[in-house]
Chain A
Amino acid sequence: MTLVLDAVHAPRARAVALVAGLAGALAVRLGVAGDAGVRSVWAGAVFAVLLLAVVVLADRAEALRPGPWRRQVALGGLGALALCVVPLVVHLTTDGGALPARDFPLWALVVSAVAVTEEMLLRGVLWTALDRWAGEWVALGVTTVAFGLLHVPLYGWSVLVLDLVVGLLLGGVRMVSGGWGGPAVAHTLADLAGWWLR
């Protein structure tokens, strides 16, 4: 009986621990970034490493199981196209200039690492834990809100609505693709597209 009760509550405890881990990693990122804010490469790299550590501690198997790869790539690509609507609108309505090309490799590496580890945590192990505990809709709701709030300390409250909507879209990709690989592909490609579409 104790074992059964323990197991029933296990996904909830795991979900709570994962959210706490995400919040802690975010606090460390803010502290490391200091004046540089969101542009700190070091802070982004530290954040990605911490998220990866939390994910691996939670469920190594899930971390290595992004889902059927063809489905993940195809649906992730579609998700990225949808997300690129926003930078495309900005690109067409503003006078953008060229960013320094020498900064791109490191920037792209860290951006990709942050995006992938966020998805491993949010739409990977956290989604699975919430799904097992309370169902898919709760998983969608909690990960969407967590995704939106995650960006507020870095980008300000003005991004909350947009990021909630994007979180919902990435959750939809997770539901359709059946793994965290699709959201990771969509998230990473959309972030990288920002460099070229500005």
Chain B
Amino acid sequence: MTAATVPSSAPSSRPSPEGRVRGRRRGWVVLVAALLALGATVAVRPPHAPPLYDGIGFPDEPYRWVTPPPGESKAAAAATPARATIQVTPGSSGAVSQASRGFSSEQGPQVAFSVAEGAFAAPAKTTSIDLVATPKAAPKPYGDGGTIVSNLYELSALADGKDGAEVPLAAGAAFIVNLRAVRQTNQTVVLCTWDGAAWNQVVTRQVGTEVYAAQLSTLDPIALVRLDQGVQATVAAPEPTADAAAPAGDPATDPASGTSNRTLLITVGGIVVLLAGALLVLRRRTGDE
């Protein structure tokens, strides 16, 4: 029975002492190769947040206000900007800005953006665009009907990083921004732009527990506003499409599944686990052990 359950042809079911030593030597080779690959991976693309090799994500740190409103406290660390250097390449009809994204450094990021290829109307001979979302204090309260629940973020896009060389968004460009609110709420939250005199609502979609996304057509300063109970947004709710979604790769803001998808996942996943468990039990009873 033993011979039947552990066939001699099995590659390494019971390695000899020499085999174990060889296996360990191979293991050291794998370890060295993995270390080199790890160094190369981090050097080529440094992660924007500490990775988990699986577990649960980090909880958000307290919101970092530039100037905390009444009732809020100032965090020890300063709010950070989100930055990206966007490469510009020559195209058949002029300079074309490449796709890019940026995140601020908080856990989770208080601001993040994602731009599609061709999002900026880059002047000829531009080689890159420095895109920055800088945290500032809100210049003015929202007024009746709402409360500002984030810093103001000023957006700037400079050709080759030169002061004054502002680059506008191209017509119809896909420039998506995510802002994190100070805390979760059941009330309506809308992203607003500040035009220097007034707040203007933008079509907003919730993409995380306290993270909101919008697609912008200008680079005006932005902030989140929580509307008072009973106050309706003046902009239409967006259709549930992929537009205005979270920048890819941000664990805190990956788009959520709908309720039906959740039920489906739990049901299908549970069935698969049960079937796998049944198969494992059957294997044991039919001589796997």
Contact = CB atoms under 8 A, between A and B. Distances in A.
Q: Do A and B come from one complex?
A: yes
Interface of A: 3-4, 6-8, 10-11, 13-14, 16-18, 20-21, 23-32, 34-41, 43-44, 50, 53-54, 57-58, 79, 82-83, 85-87, 89-91, 93-100, 103, 107, 110-112, 114-115, 118, 131-136, 140, 150-151, 154-159, 161-163, 165-166, 168-178, 187, 190-191, 194-195, 197-198
Interface stretch (B136-144, B191-199, B267-275): B267-275
Given A34-B256, A85-B42, A99-B61, A28 B270 contact: yes
B279 to A, nearest CB: 4
B146 interface: no
B54 A156 contact: no
B105 A173 contact: no
Nearest to B276: A21
26 contacts: A8-B9, A10-B287, A16-B279, A20-B275, A20-B276, A25-B269, A34-B256, A39-B56, A39-B58, A43-B56, A44-B56, A50-B273, A86-B47, A90-B48, A94-B105, A110-B55, A111-B55, A136-B26, A154-B254, A156-B254, A159-B51, A162-B47, A176-B27, A176-B28, A187-B54, A197-B50
A85 B34 CA distance: 13
B272 A194 contact: no
Given A34-B256, A50-B273, A96 B107 contact: yes
Contact of B263 (A31, A40, A165): A31
A82 B37 CA distance: 12
Nearest to B101: A158
Given A6-B286, A35-B209, A172-B31, A97 B75 contact: yes
Contacts of B77: 95-98
Contact of B78 (A95, A111, A114, A169): A95
Interface stretch (B170-178, B215-223, B234-242, B244-252): B244-252
B230 interface: no
Given A136-B26, A156-B254, A194-B51, A24 B34 contact: no
A82 B39 CA distance: 10
A195 B58 contact: yes
Contact of A198 (B13, B26, B49): B49
Nearest to A45: B56
Pairs A-B, 5 closest by C-beta atoms: A175-B27, A27-B269, A24-B272, A31-B265, A111-B55
B71 interface: no
B46 A21 contact: no
Nearest to B39: A85
B55 A8 contact: no
Interface string B112-143: 00000000000000000000000000000000
Contacts of A114: 54-56
B12 interface: yes
Contacts of A187: 53-54
A154 B251 contact: yes
Contact of B280 (A21, A163, A165): A21
Contact of A87 (B51, B257, B262, B268): B51
A106 B146 CA distance: 35
Point out which of A79, A162, A174 has the most chain B C-beta atoms below 10 A from its C-beta.
A162
A165 B41 contact: yes
A14 B283 contact: yes
A178 B56 contact: no
B11 A136 contact: yes
Given A17-B279, A178-B23, A178-B24, 19 more contacts: A20-B275, A21-B272, A23-B269, A24-B268, A31-B261, A34-B256, A91-B50, A95-B77, A95-B78, A95-B80, A98-B76, A131-B12, A157-B249, A166-B53, A168-B30, A172-B27, A172-B28, A176-B27, A187-B54
